[in-house]
Structure 1
Amino acid sequence: MLKIREPELLDRADGHWYKTKFDAIYPSISTILSATSSDEKQNILNAWRENEPAHEYITAQAQDIGTQSHKIIENYLNNCLSLEEFDLLPVAHFNNLKPYLEHISDVTSIEQRMYSDKLKVAGTSDLIARYNGELSIIDYKTKRKPQRDEYMYEYYLQTTCYAQMFHEVTGRRINQVVILVSSEKNTRQEFIKSCDDYVEPLNERIEKYYLNSLN
Structure 2
Amino acid sequence: MFALKRVLSAVLQSTSLCVSHFSACHCLKTSRKRSPYSSVDSERYSSLVKSVMSSRVSSQTPETLQAEDDHIYGPVVKAQTPTRPEVRGPKTLHPFLNCEETVETEEPESGPPARISLNRGQGRSFVPSVTRILQQTLSPEQIFYLERWKRRMIAELGEEGFKEHSQNLFRQGKLLHSALEDILTSGAAWKNRDPSETPEYPPEVRGYLESISHILEDVSAVRAIESTVQHATLNYLGIVDCVARYRGVLCVIDWKTSDKPKPFLSNTYDNPVQVAAYAGALNNDSNYKYQVENGLIVVAYKDGSPAHAHQLSSELMSEYWKTWLLRLEEFTEKRASHASSTLPEKR
> TM-score range with shorter-chain normalisation?
0.7 to 0.9
Aligned counterpart, 1:156? 272
Contact 2:114 2:223 in 1 (8 A): no
Q: Which amino acid aligns with 1:35?
A: Q
Contact 1:72 1:83 in 2 (8 A): no
Which one of 149, 170, 184 corresponds to residue 302 of structure 2? 184
Q: Which has the higher strand share?
A: 1
Q: Which amino acid aligns with 2:141?
A: E
Contact 1:115 1:122 in 2 (8 A): yes
Contact 1:66 1:142 in 2 (8 A): yes
Matching of residues 163-174 of structure 1 within 5 Å: 163-169=279-285, 170=288, 172-174=290-292
Match of 2:278, SS? Answer: helix
Match of 1:178, SS? Answer: strand
Structure 2 unmatched runs, 5+:
1-112, 189-196, 338-347
Aligned counterpart, 2:247? 132
Contact 1:125 1:162 in 2 (8 A): yes
Which one of 239, 256, 261 corresponds to residue 141 of structure 1? 256
Aligned counterpart, 1:175? 293
Matching of residues 36-185 of structure 1 within 5 Å: 36-51=137-152, 52=154, 53=158, 54-79=161-186, 83-84=198-199, 86-147=201-262, 148-169=264-285, 170=288, 172-185=290-303
Contact 2:296 2:311 in 1 (8 A): yes
Alignment partner of 1:210 is 2:332: yes
Q: 1:107 to 1:30 in 2, by over 3 A?
A: same
Structure 1 unmatched runs, 5+:
9-18
Q: CA RMSD in A?
A: 2.3
The worse-fitting range, judged by mean Cα deviation, of 59-68 and 38-47 is 38-47
Q: CA deviation at 1:46?
A: 2.0
Q: CA deviation at 1:70?
A: 1.2
Distance 1:5 1:181 in 2: 25
Distance 2:249 2:117 in 1: 24
Contact 2:298 2:307 in 1 (8 A): yes
Q: 1:118 to 1:20 in 2, by over 3 A?
A: farther
Match of 1:68, SS? Answer: helix
The TM-score with structure 1 as length reference comes to 0.85
Match of 1:177, SS? Answer: strand
Distance 2:235 2:225 in 1: 22
Contact 1:5 1:21 in 2 (8 A): no
Q: CA deviation at 1:89?
A: 3.2
Distance 1:178 1:40 in 2: 26
Which one of 321, 324, 332 corresponds to residue 199 of structure 1? 321
Count the aligned residue pairs.
204
Report % sequence identity.
22
Q: 1:49 to 1:24 in 2, by over 3 A?
A: closer
Q: CA deviation at 1:3?
A: 6.1
Match of 2:127, SS? Answer: strand
